[in-house]
Structure 1
Amino acid sequence: MKILKSIILGLALLIVYQTAKAAPYTKDENLTRVFAINTYVDAMTHGKLRGLDDVVDQNAKFSQLRGAEVLSFTKDEMLQSLRLNKNIEQECITSTSIIQSNAEIAIVKISMQYEWFTRSNFVTISNTGKGWKITNVYSVFK
């Protein structure tokens, strides 16, 4: 019984030591390409907005082609619109494909296939020095 208590105490001390030694969390560490795209997809398809404000650059531009008209929105306008659909699950099949990628920029196509139409989002993410952030989104409806 003493051996079992010693083992449990040793494991508890090891866990406490590892937790205390852990580096403090900074949100910029999470700003990878994959994290930025996954956060955007979660917001658009599942209404989960957690982290979206962090991955969208303050000067990001959102454009939508509707017929022959191009509508443009700022980051604040787009976030306000998405808040209205918070936690609403879109009934679509979502797929992503990388169009172009290098160390500084990536262009990703996110297709949202609904029953009657497809929304294609061309998302540009850039390495801003403070992590990867969305700098431009161009949406086309077909």
Structure 2
Amino acid sequence: MKTLKSIILGLALLLVCGAVNANPVNDNENLTATHAVNTYIDAITRGKLNGLNDVLDQHVKFNMLRGKKMLSFDKKEMMDFFKGDKNVEQDCVTSTDIVESNTDIKVVKVDMKYKGFTRSNYVTVANTGDGWKITNVYSVFK
């Protein structure tokens, strides 16, 4: 009987120690800068919207220079636009280059090369405390 009590006590102690050392679940684990940029590229080039809302900061701004006219959009306007292009594949070749990178912010140039022009998106991703999120996208057409 003494052995049985010792075994049960040992198992209980093992369970308690295991629970104490368990890693907490972090919902922002996937919110890396790379994940944010890749999610944006999937949305803009392939119409894949999974996770896009999560990687866009609440106050994200989208600016687009068309000729001499500057167009500006907020998160809701862009999400509505993306929903209209859901699952639409763009006929372009996409490439990325890191323009600036440090521990708090990254600027990534996303070029979308079409037959007659190139759309360059300068995507700013910031470490917001809730993970890396897109805070600004500036697009120009060449």
Shorter-chain-normalised TM-score: which range? 0.7 to 0.9
Residue 27 of structure 1, CA deviation: 3.1
Aligned to 1:105: 105
| CA distance in 2: counterparts of 1:101 and 1:58, whole angstroms | 22
Distance 1:89 1:129, change over 3 A: same
Residue 23 of structure 1, CA deviation: 5.7
| CA distance in 2: counterparts of 1:103 and 1:139, whole angstroms | 24
Aligned to 1:67: 67
AA aligned opposite 1:52: L
Residue 117 in structure 1 maps to residue 124 in structure 2: no
| CA distance in 2: counterparts of 1:123 and 1:141, whole angstroms | 15
Aligned to 2:28: 28
Distance 1:84 1:24, change over 3 A: farther
Distance 1:67 1:53, change over 3 A: same
SS of 1:27 mapped into structure 2? coil
Which stretches in structure 2 are left out of the alignment for 5+ residues? 1-21
Aligned to 2:76: 76
Aligned to 1:92: 92
Residue 39 in structure 1 maps to residue 39 in structure 2: yes
Which stretches in structure 1 are left out of the alignment for 5+ residues? 1-21
SS of 2:106 mapped into structure 1? strand
AA aligned opposite 1:58: Q
1:71-124 deviations in Å (ceiling 9; x for gaps): 000011001001000001000000000000000000000000001111000000
Aligned to 2:139: 139
TM-score by length of 2: 0.82
AA aligned opposite 1:45: T
Distance 1:45 1:24, change over 3 A: farther
Aligned to 2:17: none
Identity of aligned residues (%): 59
SS of 2:126 mapped into structure 1? strand
Aligned to 2:54: 54
AA aligned opposite 1:130: D
Paired residues in the alignment total 122
| CA distance in 1: counterparts of 2:27 and 2:110, whole angstroms | 24
Work out which of the two has the higher radius of gyration on C-alpha atoms and give 1 or 2: 2
SS of 1:81 mapped into structure 2? helix
